[in-house]
Amino acid sequence: MKTNYSTLTLEDPIRTEIEESSIRVIPTFIYASVFASFCIAVGLQWDISWHMSVGRDGLFSPPHLAIYLGAIISGIFSGVKVLKTSFWGSLEEKQQTIKFWGVFHGSLGAMFCIWGAFAMLTSAPFDDWWHNTYGLDVKILSPPHAVLGLGMIMIQFGALVSVIAVQNRLGKNLQDKTKTHLHWLYALSSGFLLVMGYTFFAEYFFLSRQHHVLTYQVAMASLPILMVSVAFASPYKWAATKMAIVYTLLMAGMVWILPLFPAEPKLSPVYNYITRFQPFHFPFILVVPALVIDIIIAKWKNSNKWLLAAAISIGFVLSFVPAQWYFADLQMSEYGRGWFFGRYSLPYFANPDSPYRYIFHPNYISQGWDLVKGLGIAALIGLVTTRLALSWGNWMSQVKR
């Protein structure tokens, strides 16, 4: 017995040292990129709330600074990693990267982050000039916002690809602690990307429209391509579910936290005088279809891809539509008007006495055959996007550089 105890005593520090050194195989720039993705997701939700509550913002408004922080952190850490590998890296390190412009060596994820950072920082003065020249944006996707959005997506996608590349490259040679770190980095980076995907199409996801088929058709065109690809590429179980949980916690957290801070309109006309930040949307119930995606992929991952895509698309529609439909009913009811769902939220430029504030807009209600036909179209759209997602996920599962 004494020998066994002494053996354990000697092995424990050795094992700890091995595990700690194993964690170091995750480059620092990956942690920085995932944090940058978080800054972008938070800054984006905050910026929308700022426009709803304050109005016109300057180049260095707090939400913009949060977004720029993400670009700067991602760009600097990824850039340093690329320069270090390119000019001071060993031959073995260079062989684990891709080469571009005949000089630089870096991972694909780092390249995406650098390009995204340049796009975002370039769009900032462009956006400020646009406002000064043409006034407020009429649409979300103005030219400078399109450049900004592209940069955001590139950074968030770069963070996701960086994490999965390390996992694919090292495979079974990872210690348990490293696997756990990669597991959560993958869940976080994918969840932040889902926040971005939702926000881009949020104009179709207003609560008053959630009894109309267009909401679900747009959802099937935009959400499965992110959720299914992440689940298919993941070496871990329940990847889509954890992605949906991260998305839900971040968006719901912004609904709960932002109203704690004061804000007042600085542009006219002011129809709804407010004193606190008005939060953006409460998240979709994406955990339900995410569970369906994970279960179907776990059972039939190696099946024919078109059949697998059809099963996932149908499962997504059959699980998501009823869940979100009745959840929308709850939010519209008197029980949903408290702080939890943020249903009191209304922009300063909106009429608080609107007859459609607490009911579904009559022009956006689908019933009978229109509902059945519309959801059938949504399933067909989902078939195409899911098949694309499976191809994308298969590509991600093979990225090693």
Cα(27)–Cα(198) distance, integer angstroms: 29
Residues in the chain: 401
The Cα–Cα gap between 186 and 338 comes to 33
Taking CB atoms within 8 Å and a gap of at least 24, the contacts of 138-145 are 140/203
Per-residue pLDDT of the chain (401 residues; tens, 9 = 90+): 444 434 444 344 444 444 444 445 788 888 989 999 999 999 999 999 998 998 877 777 889 899 989 889 988 888 888 888 878 777 776 777 777 777 777 778 888 888 888 888 887 777 766 666 666 655 556 677 777 778 888 888 888 888 888 888 877 666 677 778 888 999 999 999 999 999 989 989 999 999 999 999 999 999 999 999 999 999 888 999 999 999 999 999 999 999 999 988 888 788 988 999 999 999 999 999 999 999 999 999 999 999 999 999 999 999 999 999 999 999 998 888 888 998 888 899 888 888 888 889 888 999 999 999 999 999 999 999 999 999 999 999 888 77
Claim: this prediction has a pTM higher than 0.85: yes
Distance, in Å, from the CA atom of 26 to the CA atom of 106, rounded to the nearest integer, reads 14
**What's the rounded Cα separation, in Å, for the pair 198 and 204?**
10
At residue 273, the 3 state secondary structure works out as coil
Cα–Cα distance measured from residue 74 to residue 80, given in angstroms and rounded to the nearest whole number: 10
The one-character DSSP state at 262 is B
Q: Residue ranges per domain, the chain? A: 27-200, 205-401
What would be the CATH architecture of the domain defined by 205-401?
Up-down Bundle (1.20)
Residue 341 backbone dihedrals phi, psi, to 5 degrees: -90, -5
How many angstroms separate the CA atoms of 3 and 180, rounded?
32
Residue (of 316, 292, 293, 290) closest to 390 by Cα position:
293
Residue 98: its H or E element: strand 98-100
- Owner of token pair 């450049």: 147
Q: What own/partner pairs with CB < 8 Å and gap ≥ 24 does 56-64 have?
A: 56/131, 56/136, 56/266, 56/267, 58/128, 59/124, 59/125, 59/127, 59/128, 64/124
Q: Look-up: residue for tokens 């480059």?
A: 27
Collapsing DSSP states into helix, strand and coil, what is residue 318?
Answer: helix
Under a CB-based contact definition with an 8 Å cutoff, are residues 165 and 6 in contact?
Answer: no
